[in-house]
């Protein structure tokens, strides 16, 4: 879109925001005729102050309107529009806390609306609705940031910081799915900083898990493992007066699971066994699968990580055997994102042992359950491409159709 005149970009974003020319003009304090002339290129936008006013109304970064390379890939990015990724990037790069010293901060949404929006964002993520989430995250980031400034000195300061910390966590989790690992790490770092203001050590613990996951995706397994184990030791039930509440057990267990996956990536099978054993103990004490702090922690999730760790250790058959012994009731009760991620792991495990047909079926099962988990993830595309390359003869009609839809070749 960089090659388009700025007026055309304004028109494009106005329509994406579902604003009529009249409504857009009213919000700018201009006439409809002025907007029409700008969009047709009859009137030039030669003042940066006006461009920034337009960007604020359209809720996007001014650099996108100016066309300064912010849309590097205007094509659809693996099921999620690259423009939306750049909007998330722009929202993460805002420093409204500093700007507020010089200008009036943006008007924050009512707290009740912000709570609902954060809950909806979590649901979108855990149901693998990444396209919908990508469209809503930029605005949610801006609104949560504005609320954090507006309520910083009042009685709701900690609650708003808690909500903002969650929004950063959601951003980090989804960006990692999209292969934006460095941006995922930045969002996770922001979550840690904000979470420390809430007084909620469980929230901070989960935020540090997000940092560790981003580091692992960036190939930095050693610091990821050290961070995760350090936080897990501090949050262990009974340590430093810590209780054994379901919330603590869930966060502690989730940290152990992430650490086990990291240790497996490093080839440390002994550490993997120890960590999975401790996680199993926490899950047994928790008695059932729960979603405290959005961890989806419990006995079933321990088994899914056991399979994932086995695959990372190169033990594909062991990973398949874990799947075959799963408690189906517990597995089917998990949220779609968690189950689809497991099917993707199983596809890789079956490919590892040479069962390409079964690998394809696992990938298709993930796509049927949560399409975005396959269609929005560059990593899943790589798995699909590998399966196509290793398939003898013609792939199944369903797998070929999926590959054609995603433009994935051998």
Q: Is residue 346 part of a domain?
A: no
Count the domains in the chain.
4
- Rounded (10°) angle between helices 221-235 and 201-217: 160
Determine the Cα–Cα distance for residues 30 and 23; give it in Å rounded to an integer: 10
Determine the Cα–Cα distance for residues 294 and 301; give it in Å rounded to an integer: 12
| Listed residue (265, 332, 254) closest to 293, CA to CA | 254
Q: Is residue 339 part of a domain?
A: no
12 with 126, same domain?
no
Q: Which residues constitute the domain of residue 114?
A: 80-219
304 with 395, same domain?
no
Q: Please list, in sequence order, all residues whose beta carbon lies within 8 angstroms of the beta carbon of residue 57, skipping any fewer than 6 positions away.
A: 24, 27, 28
CATH number assigned to the domain comprising residue 43:
1.10.260.40
| CB distance 92 to 186 below 8 Å | yes
Determine the Cα–Cα distance for residues 79 and 91; give it in Å rounded to an integer: 21
Residue with tokens 């699971």: 257
Written as six digits, the tokens of 124 are 């979108």
67: left (phi over 0), alpha (psi -120 to 50) or beta: left
pLDDT of residue 76: 40
Chosen domain end from 282, 303, 334: 334
| CB distance 240 to 249 below 8 Å | no
pLDDT of residue 101: 40
247 with 307, same domain?
yes
270 with 327, same domain?
yes
Q: Is residue 259 part of a domain?
A: yes
Mind listing the pLDDT tens digit of every residue in the chain (410 residues)? 445 688 888 998 888 888 999 999 988 989 999 999 999 888 888 676 788 788 878 877 676 777 654 433 333 434 577 778 888 888 888 765 544 443 445 577 899 999 999 999 999 999 999 988 998 899 999 999 999 999 988 899 999 999 999 999 999 999 999 999 999 999 999 999 999 999 999 999 999 999 999 999 999 999 999 999 999 999 999 887 778 999 999 999 999 999 999 999 999 999 999 999 999 999 999 989 999 999 999 999 999 999 999 999 999 999 999 999 999 999 999 999 999 999 999 999 999 999 999 999 999 999 999 999 999 999 999 999 999 999 988 899 999 999 998 888 65
| CB distance 50 to 28 below 8 Å | no
105 with 176, same domain?
yes
- The distance of Cα 150 from the centroid of its chain, to the nearest Å, equals 26
Chosen domain end from 219, 238, 260: 219
Determine the Cα–Cα distance for residues 265 and 94; give it in Å rounded to an integer: 35
3-class SS of residue 76: strand
174 with 280, same domain?
no
| Listed residue (323, 407, 382) closest to 358, CA to CA | 323
109 with 56, same domain?
no
| Listed residue (112, 89, 104) closest to 190, CA to CA | 89
242 with 279, same domain?
yes
pLDDT of residue 5: 82
């Amino acid at each position: 879109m960089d090659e388009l005149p700025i007026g055309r970009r304004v028109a494009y974003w106005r329509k994406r925001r579902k604003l009529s020319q009249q409504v857009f003009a009213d919000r700018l304090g201009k006439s409809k005729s002025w907007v029409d002339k700008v969009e047709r290129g009859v009137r030039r936008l030669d003042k940066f102050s006006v461009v920034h006013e337009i960007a604020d109304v359209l809720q996007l970064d001014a650099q996108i309107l100016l066309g300064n390379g912010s849309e590097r890939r205007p094509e659809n990015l693996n099921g999620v529009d690259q423009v939306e990724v750049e909007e998330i990037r722009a929202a993460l790069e805002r420093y409204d806390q500093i700007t507020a010293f010089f200008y009036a901060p943006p008007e924050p949404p009512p707290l009740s609306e912000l709570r609902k929006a954060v809950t909806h964002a979590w649901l979108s993520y855990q149901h693998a609705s990444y396209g919908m989430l990508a469209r809503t995250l930029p605005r949610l980031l801006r609104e949560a940031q504005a609320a954090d400034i507006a309520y910083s000195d009042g009685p709701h300061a900690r609650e708003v910081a808690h909500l903002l910390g969650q929004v950063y966590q959601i951003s980090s989790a989804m960006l990692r799915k999209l292969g934006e690992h460095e941006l995922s790490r930045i969002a996770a770092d922001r979550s840690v900083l904000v979470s420390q203001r809430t007084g909620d050590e469980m929230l901070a613990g989960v935020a540090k898990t997000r940092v560790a996951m981003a580091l692992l995706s960036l190939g930095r397994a050693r610091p990821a493992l050290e961070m995760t184990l350090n936080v897990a030791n501090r949050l262990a039930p009974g340590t430093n007066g810590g209780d054994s509440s379901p919330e603590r057990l869930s966060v502690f267990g989730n940290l152990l699971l992430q650490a086990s996956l990291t240790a497996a990536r490093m080839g440390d099978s002994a550490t993997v066994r120890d960590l999975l054993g401790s996680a199993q103990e926490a899950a047994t004490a928790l008695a059932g699968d729960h979603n405290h702090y959005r961890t989806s922690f419990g006995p079933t999730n321990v088994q899914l990580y056991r399979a994932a760790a086995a695959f990372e250790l190169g033990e594909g058959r062991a990973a398949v055997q874990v799947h075959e012994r799963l408690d189906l009731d517990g597995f089917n009760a998990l949220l779609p994102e968690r189950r689809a991620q497991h099917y993707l792991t199983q596809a890789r495990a079956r490919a590892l042992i040479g069962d390409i047909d079964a690998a394809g079926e696992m990938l298709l099962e993930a796509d049927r359950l949560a399409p975005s988990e396959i269609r929005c993830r560059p990593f899943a595309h790589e798995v699909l491409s590998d399966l196509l390359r290793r398939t003898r003869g013609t792939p199944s009609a369903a797998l070929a159709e999926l590959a054609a839809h995603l433009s994935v070749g051998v």
